[in-house]
Chain A
């Protein structure tokens, strides 16, 4: 049990060491959510599938919050006439990419790995969004 408590202390200290960075990320979440409103996001799309997929991915990267919010917002965007390409990319980028947490990721995992991982995640988000829409249309 003592060994577990020692590990618990060690883990807590590691988390504490990153606390200024984590607090910075959380504070940045507040600013992004205030500035990036659903109306502002909706104005970004123009109906062209390639443009919408790309913009959806970029908007999802910048947006922050619980995944559940991205579904609600995605549903609203669909109702507002935004294409499924845009919404798929937006919803997926929301949970797989994050500009806000990049400084922390670089700090902990290094710049090279962070760049490689996020570049791949960006490309795959676009590919998956397009493949999902094509598949949905294929099954009718």
Chain B
């Protein structure tokens, strides 16, 4: 998707075409409604400021994982644990992970290239819907029964999705 080789050590920057499409949307918005365009830019700037520390944390976590474990060895070790333990690990990791989903794509993509299964990745992503730090706020707005049932069903749903992704992919192969 619009990859460009940069000058620094052959680093291939990806996504320029997508960035270009978004820039064109801003241009259209600027012509149609300049005030909203400025507001959108301000929100994007604030979002970037919020995301940068999270991206830094993801880089450090990613480096720590690959420093302590050889990725192939890590994937093999996960394989030895059996499907249920792997899925449980993905579930807990998803619940504990922080920040927007897209901040985790590089790390997840790397783990996947080294053998972590698609089922575990699907479980990880859906389990991220459980937000432990703001659980009290959910209780405040929607009450205990709603918050407990929703959380429980998200965990069950994440588990089942992992199983389904594995089965569907096995069926496709």
Contact = CB atoms under 8 A, between A and B. Distances in A.
Given A15-B58, A24-B21, A96 B118 contact: no
Nearest to B49: A26
Given A14-B106, A30-B43, A7 B66 contact: yes
A103 to B, nearest CB: 5
Contacts of A128: 150, 153-154, 157
Interface residues of A, number: 67
A91 B85 CA distance: 29
Interface size class of B (residues with CB under 8 A): 35 or more
B134 to A, nearest CB: 5
A33 B40 contact: yes
10 closest pairs, A vs B, by CB? A21-B15, A30-B44, A30-B40, A75-B141, A20-B15, A108-B109, A24-B19, A30-B43, A7-B63, A8-B63
Given A22-B51, A30-B42, A139-B145, 8 more contacts: A4-B64, A26-B48, A31-B29, A107-B15, A113-B121, A120-B165, A128-B157, A135-B149
Interface of A: 3-4, 7-8, 10-31, 33-35, 66-68, 71-72, 74-75, 78, 84, 87-88, 91-92, 95-96, 98, 101, 103-109, 112-113, 116-117, 120-121, 124, 127-128, 131-132, 135-136, 139
